[in-house]
């Protein structure tokens, strides 16, 4: 379902059902794969927060535009979301809570820092630094990374 929502957003339509898109999308005020303005609730830079908490809709807005660290399990490239739109300077990949494959999240990373994404293997544990981006009213959250490294 989340992928269907992203496909619809990327093409300018909102989701009407689990199988299709209908109506023009709400256009966000800033490109959706760019960092949000930091919230007043941002923890100190570098604070570790579990990926499951960061990506949970109940908490995600608290990490918008922050500079936290978290670990995730690399799932793969492809199934591009908003960061894969032509002309965009981001690369999108998928990640999950380590040890849990049931829920996959999208992560964007600047192209100039993305070489590591193309050598990672599914299941590799990665260290992400950055914050979230949440589209209000649509319940879509993704992690906007400013760096990705293999976790040791």
Largest CA distance in the chain: 46
pLDDT at position 139 is 76
pLDDT at position 3 is 44
Integer CA distances (angstroms), 93 to 4, 48, 51, 140, 142, in order:
16, 21, 15, 15, 10
H or E stretch covering 8: helix 2-10
* pLDDT tens-digit series, residues 60-103: 999 999 999 999 999 998 664 554 443 478 888 999 999 887 78
Q: Choose among 84, 43, 80, 82: nearest CA to 65.
A: 43
Q: Please tell me whether the overall predicted TM-score, pTM, comes out greater than 0.75 for this model.
A: no
Question: Which residues, in sequence order, are CB contacts of 20 under 8 Å at separation 6+?
Answer: none
Q: In a 3-state reduction of DSSP, which class is residue 35?
A: coil
Q: Mean pLDDT over residues 39-57, rounded?
A: 91
């Amino acid at each position: 379902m989340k992928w269907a929502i992203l496909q619809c957003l990327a093409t300018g339509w909102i989701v009407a059902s689990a199988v299709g898109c209908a109506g023009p999308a709400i256009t966000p005020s800033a490109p959706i794969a760019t960092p949000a303005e930091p919230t007043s609730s941002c923890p100190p830079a570098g604070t570790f927060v579990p990926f499951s908490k960061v990506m949970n809709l109940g908490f995600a807005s608290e990490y918008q535009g922050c500079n936290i660290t978290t670990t995730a399990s690399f799932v793969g490239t492809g199934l591009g979301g908003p960061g894969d739109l032509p002309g965009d300077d981001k690369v999108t990949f998928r990640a999950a809570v380590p040890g849990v494959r049931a829920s996959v999240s999208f992560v964007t990373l600047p192209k100039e820092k993305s070489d590591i994404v193309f050598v990672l293997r599914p299941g590799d544990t990665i260290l992400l630094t950055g914050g979230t981006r949440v589209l209000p009213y649509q319940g879509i959250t993704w992690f906007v990374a400013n760096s990705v490294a293999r976790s040791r």
